Amino acid sequence: MDSTAGSLMLIAALIAASAFFSISELAVAASRRMRLRQMADQGDVRAERVMAVQDEPGDYFTVIQIGQNSVAILGGIVGEGAFSPVIRSVLTQLPFTTEHVETFSVAGSFVLVTSLFILLADLFPKRLGMNSPEHVAVRVVGPMHGFLLLFRPIVWFFKRLTDTLFKVLGLPDQRDDAITHHDILAMAEAGAEAGVLAGAEHRVIENVIELDTRLVTSAMTARDSIIHFLVDDSEALIRARIEQYPHSTYLVCDGDIDHVLGYVDSKYLLSRALNAQPISLRAEGLISKVLSVPDRLTLSEVLLQFRQAHEDFAVIVNEYSLVVGIITINDVMSTVMGSLVAPLDEEQIVQRDANSWLIDGITAIPDVLRAIDLDSLPHQGEYETLAGFLMVMLRRIPKRTDTVVWGGFRFEVMDVDSYKIDQVMVTRLSEAEVEALAAAARSH
């Protein structure tokens, strides 16, 4: 019995050692670099040591593998001697032959030791390490450095062999900690789901990331909505238009909107009116040179153009040098801030109930997808707005009541004004409706 008790104590020690190596391996591998940096900045020197291990993980994980394999081998040797006598003594009380008793006692001891190691030395410590990897990593990195010193010669030998194998296979030998925009979006989404970020804050982060992919046309004032002056407009016409459409900046054109001379700031017109000076757009120094940008620029690129030109207003032209719209820095900021700054009566997406939305035709596709929780739309590279999606799907200019069904949603044109799609009703279909539509499609 003393021998059995000693074996059981040794098994417990081996399981504890294997659990330590398991949790040390997972905690360091799963630790987030940003969180470790925060801990280091707060004065925890152990976090610096963990980051150093992540930079050069070879020796650390070699020690872990040496330890785990050594413990596993010892566990197999000791386990048989620890549990076989106990199992044998139980089986001898049952109607089994001596040969069967010996076989079952060895097999039972193997299964029992293996199960204990899987549960207590692998599954439990690894799940424990995943719950808070950074805090676990800073606690185990010190003892692991002690093991590293103890096994230094063996580690050196295996490290040289591993480095050679990596070079032969052409594999990177250092961890890549580069953070992509997909990583940032994933962290923001996780923060929103955990309640750390409010829904509006989450959307702002998404919008900022999307500045690199959204074209200026998704945030511009379209051509048919631009309020502009012609250089020969009379003072009465200028005053009437300012009164009817008050803006801070107006385009000035020669003959038509595609021949832009520049822009005029309304404060200069107001100054002339207050000083009883005649308002003429041909007055010297009144028209400023306007920044022109191609319609293929992204929002982040147009922000860079604004900064370089020290402007906050630009005309957007297409490849045929035709004006397609205008954009201001406020338009870009409104795209980022979304509903946080948009008045309720200017919202492009209005959710009517849990399964239907009334959406402006000029709404950018990323905003539509986000609102209705859809991953993508077909032929997505061929259009930028909901109106463009309908045109591509119908292969013609949509009319009122035209409908497109895709991805479990019905897109119905509600209002069209001079070929411009003003309103679209988007409705999530029920499972029965989806099945009925699929059956109708098969019958045709």
Give the chain as a 3 state SS string: CHHHHHHHHHHHHHHHHHHHHHHHHHHHHHCCHHHHHHHHHCCCHHHHHHHHHHHCCHHHHHHHHHHHHHHHHHHHHHHHHHHHHHHHHHHCCCCCCHHHHHHHHHHHHHHHHHHHHHHHHHHHHHHHHHHCHHHHHHHHHHHHHHHHHHCHHHHHHHHHHHHHHHHHHCCCCCCCCCCCHHHHHHHHHHHHHHCCCCHHHHHHHHHHHHCCCCEHHHCCEEHHHCCEEECCCCHHHHHHHHHHCCCCEEEEECCCCCCEEEEEEHHHHHHHHHCCCCCCCCCCCCCECCEEEECCCEHHHHHHHHHHHCCCEEEEECCCCCEEEEEEHHHHHHHHHHHHCCCHHHCCEEEEECCEEEEECCCEHHHHHHHHCCCCCCCHHHCCEHHHHHHHHHCCCCCCCCEEEECCEEEEEEEEECCEEEEEEEEECCHHHHHHHHHHHHHC
pLDDT in tens, 328-380: 888 888 877 765 555 544 577 888 888 889 998 888 888 888 888 888 888 88
pLDDT in tens, 228-277: 999 988 988 988 888 888 888 899 999 899 999 999 988 888 888 788 78
Q: Is the pLDDT of residue 144 over 70?
A: yes
pTM: 0.54
pLDDT in tens, 413-434: 998 887 788 889 999 988 888 7
Q: Is the pLDDT of residue 81 over 70?
A: no
Mean pLDDT of the 139-154 span: 81
pLDDT value for 212: 82
Average pLDDT over all residues of the chain? 81
Q: Is the pLDDT of residue 59 over 70?
A: yes
pLDDT in tens, 299-309: 889 999 999 99
